[in-house]
Amino acid sequence: MNEPKPQPPQKPQGQAQPSAGSEPETTVLHLGKFLADAAADRPEAESPTMLIRKAAAQAAAQQPVTSPRRSRLSPERMLGVLAYAYVKGVYRSEDIERKMRQDPQFNAALGGEVPTPQTIRCFRRLNRQAILAALGKFFRWRRSRATPQPSATGQPDPEPSTQYYVKHEAEDVLNRAIWVDNMSKDE
């Protein structure tokens, strides 16, 4: 009858633990997939990560994407990383920087020189239209996969309403990122 109480599992050594009162880290960003050689290693052409990477490349090809500072991360890759983080619900620049540092493959590829929160904010300001284009391409893909294909019954093409919703969804996500990021600067 005198059974020992079960002990909580041991936490791995050397990993950052959440501070008291904060929520544990739940969103994992696989940022290594945005490295230059990642596409050749993975056949996941239809994964959300690869689709955001393609959307960022297309957006960067259609309009100039500038980087605020000299960085080991190309503007096209930075565009993909930010769009991916926003789609995953990671909005604060400090959180994006932390996730870049926590991804060993990504951090090593950049020689430990990941973009700072200030660089991320500046990039977002300079490249708003490119970020919206990348987000829009991803949301259009996601919506097309969720919407049944029109049958041959002659129903009208849903494209105009899709464009409207995709545009607003992209704007909402980017505006939410800006708002959350600006609110967190006051902390």
CA atoms within 13 A on the CB side of 85: 28
Model confidence pLDDT, tens digit, residues 36-54: 555 444 555 577 788 888 8
- pLDDT at residue 119 in the model: 92
Give the pLDDT mean for 135-145.
87
Give whole-number Cα distances, 75 to 6, 131, 173, in Å.
50, 11, 20
pTM of the predicted model as reported, rounded to 2 decimal places: 0.71
How many Å apart are CA 96 and CA 102, to the nearest integer? 10
Handedness of CA 170, 84, 19, 24 (dihedral sign): positive
Q: What is the 3-state secondary structure (H, E, C) of 36-75?
A: CCHHHHCCCCCCHHHHHHHHHHHHHHHCCCCCCCCCCCCH
Q: Is a pLDDT exceeding 50 seen at residue 14?
A: no
- pLDDT at residue 7 in the model: 47
| Residue 163: how many other CB atoms lie within 10 Å | 13
Model confidence pLDDT, tens digit, residues 157-179: 556 677 788 899 999 999 999 99
pLDDT averaged over the chain? 76
Q: Give the H/E segment covering residue 166.
A: helix 159-184
Model confidence pLDDT, tens digit, residues 98-108: 999 998 888 88
Model confidence pLDDT, tens digit, residues 84-132: 999 999 999 999 999 999 988 888 888 888 999 999 999 999 999 999 9
Residue type, position 159, single letter? E
